Amino acid sequence: MRQHDTLFIGGEWVTPAGTGTIDVVSPHTEEVVGRVPDGTAADMDRAVAAARQAFDQGPWPRLTFAERAAAISRLAEVYAARLGEMADLITEEMGSPITFSQLAQAPQPLGMLQYYAELGTTFQQEEQRPGLFGPTTVRREPVGVVAAIVPWNVPQFVAMTKIAPALLAGCAIVLKPAPETPLDAYLLAEIAQEAGIPAGVLNIVPAGREAGEHLVSHPGVDKVAFTGSTAAGRRIGSICGEQLKRVSLELGGKSAAIILDDADLAASVGMLAIASLMNNGQACVAQTRILASRNRYDEVVEAVAGMVTSQQVGDPADPATGIGPLVARRQQERVEGYIRIGMEEGAKVVVGGLDRPYDRGWYVAPTVFSGVSNDMRIAREEIFGPVLAVIPYEDEADAIRIANDSDYGLAGSVWTADADHGMDVARQVRTGTYGVNCFMLEANAPFGGYKSSGVGRELGPEGLAGYLEHKSITRLG
């Protein structure tokens, strides 16, 4: 078992203020695989003080962008050396299939570090603009101390969408990992320490909701960067709004994949195995609404059902596994609750249902519903599990209407033989990230949502801008 007795604060491993602990339980075996301290408000105070010291008096925010980029590049080199260890650890603590961990859970955070390290070599802190009364200097300065609060589903990916740009901007960070997945954050702390990131620039305190809210409300925090549920995002947004504190929120989704009649169905559905079921369906960008025309509806339902049944369900450490367990018993019960709701609403279970694949582990049978209308709860609410709803549409305009008829707007895709036409469809769907015959996130492009899917953008230059204040200086003479 992985046992940690300290917290990473001020560049050192320190004794926590309290005696509480967090057990990390394997979703596959239901056995305790790790234990870490349960951070308290006092620990958050200490972490914010360390970050405050590093920002207000330390060298980090006073370095040039190029100097910070060099430090991030060193961090990336150390991270790369432990990539396999990171992938294995995330699979162990939250049940992500090892193939997905090796594809996304560890390599994509590394890619973000590498992207921002490269961006920093050319990014200009100051820009000169001609003005009506004289030359104006536009200066970019770090926002300050950042509270980064991340979920359990893709813990390193989400952490790095915040840490990498915040580091380049010159901020100091307090990272609060989710109680379900703190182990990877400890490995990140070791990597940061080995890479020589200055003391106090990155502090890590695992904790529950109460200590997390204390961190959000802390007067020493200048910005909160949060990824998680829309309900929690509303609470955090209200606190930050009351305090006039900078905030970015990446929240839930209920994304639609539109399959047009000219699409290569076998190829499209094959790609949807990732777009719809990635990480056991525990992804905010998962395309869990599959939109099919009435002309090909039965054919699409059959193809989607075949794709789902072809996924091996089992041990996430087995490379042959396509779908592993859900992160916790409460998540298993939540997803099964939605399957029950779908049945009660009149949708038809094509594959899956309420029979659990295994007696041990928090597994749910991957499920496909047909006969779904877009007003059903299973079509409107984020389930966060391997449950797909195939929804019929009349024509292309109706498909776009259904895709947009959602409280969310985080992701989506269209599948067609005519990629140029697919671009026309993409421009009409109100969502932050879209794919034509694919779905992926690029480190150099902004990621975030419309509507209840969040506020602000991460990744790309736009992600860096969220950690910068812009100052205008006009002079005469």
Closest CA to 354 of 337, 329, 370, 330: 337
Does the annotation mark 250 as catalytic? yes
Q: Which two tokens stand for residue 300?
A: 């699409």
- Averaged pLDDT of the chain: 97
pLDDT of 446 above 80:
yes
User: Quick one: pLDDT band at residue 349, thresholds 50, 70, 90?
Assistant: very high
Query: What pLDDT score was predicted for residue 269?
Result: 97
pLDDT of 363 above 80:
yes
How confident is the model over 58-82, as a mean pLDDT? Answer: 98
Alpha-carbon distance of 26 to 34, in angstroms, equals: 9
Partner residues linked to 392 by β-bridges: 292
Closest CA to 110 of 86, 144, 136, 138: 86
Element (H, E) at 149: strand 145-149
Which listed residue (92, 93, 240, 284) is catalytic? 284
Alpha-carbon distance of 432 to 249, in angstroms, equals: 13
| Residue type, position 133, single letter | F
Alpha-carbon distance of 335 to 316, in angstroms, equals: 19
Residues 106 and 82: beta-carbon distance below 8 Å: no
CA-based radius of gyration for the chain: 23
Residues 69 and 241: beta-carbon distance below 8 Å: no
Query: What pLDDT score was predicted for residue 19?
Result: 97
Query: What pLDDT score was predicted for residue 239?
Result: 98
Query: What pLDDT score was predicted for residue 444?
Result: 96
| pTM of the predicted model as reported, rounded to 2 decimal places | 0.96
Query: What pLDDT score was predicted for residue 56?
Result: 98
Alpha-carbon distance of 398 to 332, in angstroms, equals: 34
Q: Which two tokens stand for residue 314?
A: 């089992």
Query: What pLDDT score was predicted for residue 131?
Result: 84
Q: Which two tokens stand for residue 288?
A: 């869990």
How confident is the model over 252-276, as a mean pLDDT? Answer: 97
How confident is the model over 336-346, as a mean pLDDT? Answer: 98
Which listed residue (93, 250, 336, 382) is catalytic? 250
pLDDT of 132 above 90:
no
The CA-based dihedral angle spanning residues 122, 127, 128, 129, taken in that order and rounded to the nearest 10 degrees:
120
Q: What is the pLDDT of residues 134-155, one digit of tens each?
A: 899 999 999 999 999 999 999 9
Give the strands of the sheet with 7-9, arranged side by side. 12-14, 7-9, 202-204, 172-176, 145-149, 223-227, 246-250, 454-455
